[in-house]
């Protein structure tokens, strides 16, 4: 799926996407898909599901970074973003954003487009005569998984959102009112359950990267974690651990250098490629966004100082830095390298910034020698996340002694010294929140802020964490406001039924 199907996606886009204007899921009648011409066979079903996946990549490589990555990562305490070339990004990082920020409108549109495509598949695929029942069920379950994923993101980032589960038929359907967050979460759970019970456990080589039952079960467990339903989350994660056949890659960096893509540690990834048939691109500019200027990078964001200090404490039993630290940051250390370049060799050429992230900083899969076109997949869920979420659920259920070995599994892979088996529940909770998960998943897409958001439901103060961790401009964070993004102004202007989030 990673390297093929461009023409299928392009065909579907011409038929479907051209009909969408800038409004909320608006499609002019003259451009709607004609069921007499489309939704006729398995090829059409595949085009539909590929279009649904396509919104994971956003609108090309720039759209994914500037809208999805920045919107999901820049608010967190793991990122220090100081460059002024992207003012909208600086406003997100500094909590001075308003409802007209382009990242919000583009992110909203991308995810609702994905939901619209999913609903097309869900409604139309069952009516294709030539498809077997098992094929119909699988396509529908795949679409429901993706719809659940898009809604999980939307409800976490915006909270008060429309819930659209069918293809709009009139203006009232197009401009839907906001549903209660509880109703949205119910739909997310229902979609993930269908996907878990229907999708296959694995695919052939040519279809690797498509959502499996394990991906659905992982996200179902994560949804339960947001709802603090730890008993149910525990069951989902334990089943993956016992029966999913996943394992941690022996080399931490293989998660990010291309060699471990869709491999033993991967539950779900955004499929990228450096190939460019007919100029179509599915790549990312993540290499340049994080690389030092001397390596052709733009130095858009850096490791937060508190996180770097915490990483310097993540050591082996003999006191050496762990493999995950060496695989995450590029810094002044005799063994530190990035994309085959030793830090010592460029140290004298660096500007004011001296520490850099290096996950995905590999040029072995790029297009035309251009590092802005990296084909590295981006992880959405790793097995390490399952292990740590399971440990967190166990700990919240009062089973701290049973939880610690699962944390140590993750630590042992990188050579980090084991945690003491005598840790208390509060000690392990603090460790997971302020050490283990930040160090393991530093700069990875869509993890840290979502962690903070779900802990906020347990009365954790995000502002306090940002302040204690030295987040620049944390003083600008207003409690009761900045936990959520505003509903995009463009959507408010088009849909009179939408109400703005508090404080905006």
Is the whole-model pTM more than 0.85? Answer: yes
The Cα–Cα gap between 395 and 393 comes to 5
pLDDT of residue 411: 98
Q: Is the pLDDT of residue 16 over 80?
A: no
The Cα–Cα gap between 72 and 360 comes to 17
Specify the higher pLDDT residue, 371 or 332: 332
The Cα–Cα gap between 479 and 59 comes to 32
pLDDT of residue 106: 95
Average pLDDT over residues 475-493: 97
Q: How far is CA 327 from CA 55, 166, 410, 435, in A?
A: 29, 44, 14, 16
pLDDT of residue 459: 82
Mean pLDDT, the chain, integer: 91
Q: Is the pLDDT of residue 12 over 80?
A: no
- Contact (Cβ atoms closer than 8 angstroms) between residue 57 and residue 65: no
Confidence at 1, pLDDT banded by 50, 70, 90? very low
For residue 205, what is the DSSP state? G
pLDDT of residue 354: 97
Specify the higher pLDDT residue, 64 or 133: 133
The DSSP H or E segment spanning 194 is helix 181-198
149-206 pLDDT, tens digit each: 999 999 999 999 999 999 999 878 889 999 999 999 999 999 999 999 999 999 999 9
50-98 pLDDT, tens digit each: 999 999 998 777 888 988 999 999 999 999 998 878 899 999 999 999 9
442-458 pLDDT, tens digit each: 999 999 999 999 999 87
356-394 pLDDT, tens digit each: 999 999 998 887 788 888 889 999 999 999 999 999 999
Confidence at 26, pLDDT banded by 50, 70, 90? very low
Q: Is the pLDDT of residue 11 over 90?
A: no
Q: How far is CA 335 from CA 201, 323, 327, in A?
A: 40, 11, 11
Selected from 1.25.40.390, 1.10.1060.10, 1.10.340.30, 3.40.50.1370, the CATH number assigned to the domain covering 1-177+479-504 reads 1.25.40.390
Confidence at 9, pLDDT banded by 50, 70, 90? very low
The Cα–Cα gap between 131 and 368 comes to 40
The Cα–Cα gap between 379 and 252 comes to 13
Specify the higher pLDDT residue, 429 or 11: 429
| Backbone Cα Rg of the chain | 22
Query: β-pairing, 366-367 with 378-382?
Result: unpaired
Q: Where are the domains of the chain?
A: 1-177+479-504, 286-376
Close Cβ partners of 14 (under 8 Å, ≥ 6 residues apart): none
266-303 pLDDT, tens digit each: 999 999 888 866 666 788 889 999 999 999 999 999 99
Q: Is the pLDDT of residue 420 over 80?
A: yes
**Percent of the residues in the chain that have a pLDDT greater than 70, as a whole number:** 92
pLDDT of residue 35: 67
213-269 pLDDT, tens digit each: 999 999 999 999 999 999 999 999 999 999 999 999 999 999 999 999 999 999 999
Provide the 10 A C-beta neighbour count for residue 477: 20
The Cα–Cα gap between 377 and 358 comes to 15
pLDDT of residue 33: 57
Specify the higher pLDDT residue, 364 or 123: 123
The token pair at 440 is 């393991």
pLDDT of residue 5: 43
User: Which residue, among 270, 232, 284, has the nearest Cα to 382 in the 3D structure?
Assistant: 270
Q: How far is CA 381 from CA 7, 76, 216, 246, 286, in A?
A: 28, 18, 11, 12, 18
- The whole-angstrom distance between residue 3's C-alpha and the CA centroid of its chain comes to 21
Sign of CA dihedral 339, 436, 354, 293: positive
């Amino acid at each position: 799926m990673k390297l093929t199907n461009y023409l299928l996606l392009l065909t579907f886009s011409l038929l479907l996407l051209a009909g969408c204007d800038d409004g909320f899921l608006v499609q002019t009648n003259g451009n709607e898909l004609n069921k007499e011409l489309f939704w006729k066979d398995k090829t059409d079903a595949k085009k539909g599901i590929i279009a649904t996946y396509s919104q994971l990549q956003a609108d090309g490589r720039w759209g994914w970074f500037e809208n999805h990555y920045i919107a999901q990562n820049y608010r967190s305490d793991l990122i220090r973003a100081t460059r002024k070339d992207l003012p909208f990004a600086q406003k997100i990082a500094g909590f001075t954003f308003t409802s007209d920020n382009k990242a919000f409108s583009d992110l909203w549109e991308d995810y609702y487009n994905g939901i619209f495509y999913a609903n097309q598949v869900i409604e139309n695929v069952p009516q294709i005569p030539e498809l077997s029942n098992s094929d119909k069920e699988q396509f529908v379950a795949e679409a429901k998984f993706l719809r659940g994923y898009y809604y999980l993101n939307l409800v976490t980032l915006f909270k008060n959102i429309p819930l659209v589960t069918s293809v709009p038929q009139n203006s009232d359907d197009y401009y839907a009112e906001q549903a209660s967050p509880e109703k949205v979460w119910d739909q997310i759970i229902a979609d993930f359950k269908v996907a878990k019970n229907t999708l296959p456990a694995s695919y052939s080589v040519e279809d690797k990267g498509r959502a499996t039952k394990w991906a659905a079960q992982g996200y179902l467990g994560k949804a339960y974690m947001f709802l603090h339903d730890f008993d149910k989350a525990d069951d989902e994660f334990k089943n993956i651990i016992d029966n999913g056949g996943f394992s941690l890659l022996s080399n931490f960096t293989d998660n990010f250098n291309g060699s471990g893509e869709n491999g033993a540690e991967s539950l779900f990834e955004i499929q990228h490629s450096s190939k460019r048939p007919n100029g179509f691109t599915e790549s990312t500019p993540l290499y340049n966004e994080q690389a030092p200027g001397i390596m052709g990078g733009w130095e858009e964001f850096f490791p937060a100082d508190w996180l770097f200090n915490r990483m310097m404490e993540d050591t082996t039993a003999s006191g050496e830095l762990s493999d995950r630290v060496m695989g995450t940051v590029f810094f002044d250390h005799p063994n530190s390298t990035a994309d085959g370049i030793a830090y010592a060799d460029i140290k004298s050429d660096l500007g004011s910034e001296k520490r850099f992230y290096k996950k995905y900083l590999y040029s072995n899969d790029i297009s035309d020698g251009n590092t802005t076109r990296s084909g590295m997949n981006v992880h959405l869920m790793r097995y390490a996340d399952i292990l740590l979420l399971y440990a967190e659920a166990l700990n919240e259920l009062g089973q701290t002694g049973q939880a610690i070995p699962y944390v140590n599994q993750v630590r042992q892979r990188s050579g980090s010294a084991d945690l003491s088996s005598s840790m208390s529940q509060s000690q392990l909770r603090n460790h997971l929140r302020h050490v283990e998960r930040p160090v393991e998943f530093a700069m990875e897409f869509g993890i840290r802020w979502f962690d903070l958001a779900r802990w906020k439901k347990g009365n954790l103060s995000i502002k306090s964490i940002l302040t204690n961790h030295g987040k620049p401009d944390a003083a600008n964070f207003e409690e009761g406001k900045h936990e959520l993004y505003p509903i995009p102004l463009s959507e408010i202007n088009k849909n009179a039924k939408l109400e703005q989030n508090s404080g905006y």
